[in-house]
Amino acid sequence: LQAKLARLGHQVGLRVLDALVAREKSGRRETKVLNVLLFVKGPVWRALFGKEADKLEQANDDDKTYYVIEKEPLVNTYISVPKENSTLNCAAFTAGLVEAVLTASGFPAKVTAHWHK
């Protein structure tokens, strides 16, 4: 189920990127990964969820690993997960979306959703 959510998010991410690059950047695409991540944290998140993501962090042990942190993901807010699917994280949709934005911007990435405490 999470893979399906990620695929759907990927499709949405491609469309959101096209729309926001045209609107926010006058058709210019970013050339640095950090700028693309800040674009995701700001304008992309605002367009989709009405506010910026809470934080963008770089991993201490890997300079190619970043975390976009959302303390209360909107996609998980109104979801009731049955006990047999207790590991389901609907934020996989958002992970697919972010992966699409990064990949389409020229930065191939593997994006996964994790619970943050």
Look at the chain and report how many structural domains it folds into.
1
* pLDDT per residue as tens digits for the range 37-77: 999 999 999 999 999 999 888 888 888 888 888 887 777 67
**Is there a domain that residue 83 lies in?**
yes
Domain around 6: 2-104
**Is there a domain that residue 28 lies in?**
yes
**Is there a domain that residue 99 lies in?**
yes
**Is there a domain that residue 19 lies in?**
yes
Q: Please name the amino acid found at residue 23.
A: R
DSSP code per residue over the chain? -HHHHHHHHHHHHHHHHHHHHHHHSTT----SHHHHHHHIIIIIHHHHHSS--SEEEE-SS-TT-EEEE-SS-HHHHT----GGGTT--TTHHHHHHHHHHHHHTT-----------
**Is there a domain that residue 117 lies in?**
no
* pLDDT per residue as tens digits for the range 79-114: 777 777 677 777 788 899 999 999 999 999 888 887
**pTM, rounded to two decimals:** 0.82
**Is there a domain that residue 112 lies in?**
no
- The CATH number of the domain where 33 resides is what? 3.30.1380.20
